[in-house]
């Protein structure tokens, strides 16, 4: 079991991914924006972060940039409904562990989480 931090402005997406993570036996912490996630991360140390890219107050790419600028190397899976080559390239260059289409399939997401955590990426 891992502590997984999920950031997404969509309550539906938080509910859906939350169910998947619970099925996988993970503890879940959720935030509805990049800014609130940064606040929570001051006192929370998850094993992995899942972040949406398109969010209103701080998009997922900016969230990823801020984390990396702070020296935070927690593995991050970025999710988006609109995966474009340029977006994927930027996310990976900034140190994202993976990029998934939204909504991710249950089995695919849990398998990816297991691989990332096993590698210590």
Domains of the chain: 3-119 (3.40.50.2300)
Residue 84: what pLDDT?
76
What percentage of residues in the chain have a pLDDT greater than 90? 79
pLDDT at 14 over 70: yes
Long-range interactions of 59-67: CB distance < 8 A, separation 24+? 59/34, 60/7, 60/34, 60/91, 61/87, 61/90, 61/91, 61/94, 62/34, 63/7, 63/34, 63/37, 63/38, 64/91, 64/94, 64/95, 64/96, 65/94, 66/34, 66/38, 67/38, 67/41
């Amino acid at each position: 079991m891992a502590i997984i931090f999920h950031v997404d402005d969509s309550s539906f997406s938080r509910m859906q991914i939350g169910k998947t993570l619970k099925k996988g036996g993970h503890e879940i912490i959720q935030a509805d924006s990049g800014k609130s996630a940064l606040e929570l991360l001051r006192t929370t140390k998850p094993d992995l972060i899942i972040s949406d890219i398109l969010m209103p107050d701080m998009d997922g790419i900016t969230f990823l940039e801020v984390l990396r600028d702070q020296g935070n190397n927690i593995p991050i899976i970025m999710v988006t409904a609109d995966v474009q080559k340029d977006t994927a390239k930027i996310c990976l260059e900034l140190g994202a562990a993976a990029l998934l289409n939204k909504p991710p399939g249950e089995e695919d997401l849990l398998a990816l989480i297991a691989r990332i955590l096993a590698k210590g990426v």
